[in-house]
Amino acid sequence: MKNIVIYTQDRCVFCNFAKREFETRGWEYTSHNITEINNYNSLQELLPGIRAVPQIWIDDKHIGGYDDLKEWLFAL
């Protein structure tokens, strides 16, 4: 089982696409919505200055955004 963490925000189409990718594979994930200040601050600590979501980690490896996730999945 993979350890998946995704940082998202409300009304983010690509965030929803990424979550759907995990759900269709039956992979559980932990989602952190950056509209909550603690989640925003955590993301800024991990990736200072980042301005885009989703930001995805799989097994403690930063994958990046949705396009990066698609490339990572293709390489499996």
Q: In what order do the strands lie in the sheet with 4-8?
A: 30-33, 4-8, 55-58, 61-64
Which pLDDT score, from 0 to 100, does residue 55 have? Answer: 98
Which pLDDT score, from 0 to 100, does residue 3 have? Answer: 97
Say if CB 35 and CB 9 are below 8 A apart.
yes
CATH code at position 56: 3.40.30.10
User: What is the total count of domains within the chain?
Assistant: 1
The boundaries of the domain holding residue 9 are: 4-74
Q: Who contacts 71 (Cβ-Cβ below 8 Å, separation ≥6)?
A: none
pTM above 0.85, yes or no: yes
pLDDT digits (tens, 9 = 90+) for 23-50: 999 999 999 999 999 999 999 999 999 9
